[in-house]
Amino acid sequence: MNRDEILDWLLETDPVRLEELWERADAVREAHVGMAVHLRGLIEIGNHCVRKCAYCGIAACAPGMERYRLAFQDIIDCAVRGQAFGFGTVVMQSGEDPGITREFMVDVIRTIKRRTGMAITLSLGERREEDLRAWKEAGADRYLLRFETTDPELYRTIHPSLPGTALSDRLQQLLLMREIGFEIGTGVMVGIPGQTWATLATDIWTFRDFDMDMIGIGPFILSPGTPLDGELGEQLRREAGTGQVPSDELTTLKALALTRLLCPDTNIPSTTALATLDPGAGRANGLKVGANVVMPNLTPPKYRVLYRIYPGKAGLQETADITRDKIEAQIHALGRSIGRGPGGRGRANMVGID
């Protein structure tokens, strides 16, 4: 499949043709990563951020934000709870926060490895090479860093560099992470203002071209008070014109299915953003068209409500055990199994439990 064919599928509206796409993606998923759905326990360890990304509800420019950082023991307790739930991986996520120091994370990573043996994924934004190397040496296994868009002008508009620093280049940082030894994960938002169909097709092609190990694709959900919630967002939509990608469930499912076809053995989550857009069926629909990972939230509810990257996140008021039970019921209803172990890329995903 080349970029023109990807674009044609993104523009497809015929339900019969789309059903063919869903079935092909699901068959490729089953053949290459099996029936198991791997659960990654998400811990949102802090919402401080020094970036002023135009789309993010916890950016440095976000209005009226109550900030927090989880204490060391709170993080460890969340990870231990995830192990008790049977999760094989813990994912620690935050804003881009220098207050989460290299040394602090080394201690967290070593302690989680010693106490649980779980795989560890980090999603802490753009960090210095010495931080990344120290965290890999301490035992971290994977790093998630979404490149958001392959359109360089749009990227600079929605993701300004820090004052006095070089231009942000997330694709190059992902390659550095791979050289260090991490499995690398990335992703994009579907329908961000200024994103055209041609850009989204190139984004999906780039997943294949860079041979990503993990890929997250979710709909853009507008966060009130951010720059995209004003004139900037309107300007970008005007510039995209009729080529502006909608931030809807159908387009997100097309992008997810096409990504599975191009990246058959990659780990692909059915995202929380998709479940937020369609609380009843969004997560299940993602699993039906190629996804094989879900990330239940382990963050204590009193902090979870403060990690407002966008409004109305699915499961915002739920305890971790309720979220897990709901997700496991959805998975079993689809005739899929719950994965066990760390669930690395490819055929390592083939093992599941009933």
The tens digit of pLDDT for each residue in 309-341 reads 998 888 887 888 888 999 999 999 999 999 988
Which of 75-79, 282-286, 323-327, 346-350 shows the lowest per-residue confidence on average (mean pLDDT)?
346-350
The predicted structure's pLDDT at residue 354: 45
Which of 212-216, 244-248, 347-351 shows the lowest per-residue confidence on average (mean pLDDT)?
347-351
The predicted structure's pLDDT at residue 314: 84
**% of residues, the chain, pLDDT over 70:** 97
Whether residue 350 lies inside any domain: the answer is no
Whether residue 336 lies inside any domain: the answer is yes
Helix (H, G, I), strand (E, B) or coil at 122: strand
What DSSP line would sit under 36-87, residue for residue?
Answer: EEEEEEEEEEE-------TT-TTSTT-TTPPP-B--HHHHHHHHHHHHHTT-
Q: Provide the domain count of the chain.
A: 1
Residues 190-200 have a mean pLDDT of 98
Residues 152-161 have a mean pLDDT of 92
3-state percent breakdown (helix, strand, coil) of the chain, nearest 5: 45, 15, 40
Structural domain boundaries enclosing 173: 3-341
Exposed, middle or buried by CB within 10 Å (0-12, 13-18, 19+), for 50? middle
Residues 207-218 have a mean pLDDT of 94
The mean predicted confidence, pLDDT, of the chain is 94
Q: CB–CB of 18/254 below 8 Å?
A: yes
CATH of the domain at 133: 3.20.20.70
Whether residue 346 lies inside any domain: the answer is no
Over residues 265-318, the pLDDT tens digits come to 999 999 999 999 999 899 999 999 999 999 999 999 999 999 999 988 888 878
Half-sphere exposure of residue 316: CA atoms within 13 angstroms, side-chain side: 13
Whether residue 35 lies inside any domain: the answer is yes
Which of the two residues, 64 and 147, has the higher pLDDT score? 147
| Sign of the dihedral through C-alpha 302, 304, 310, 316 | negative
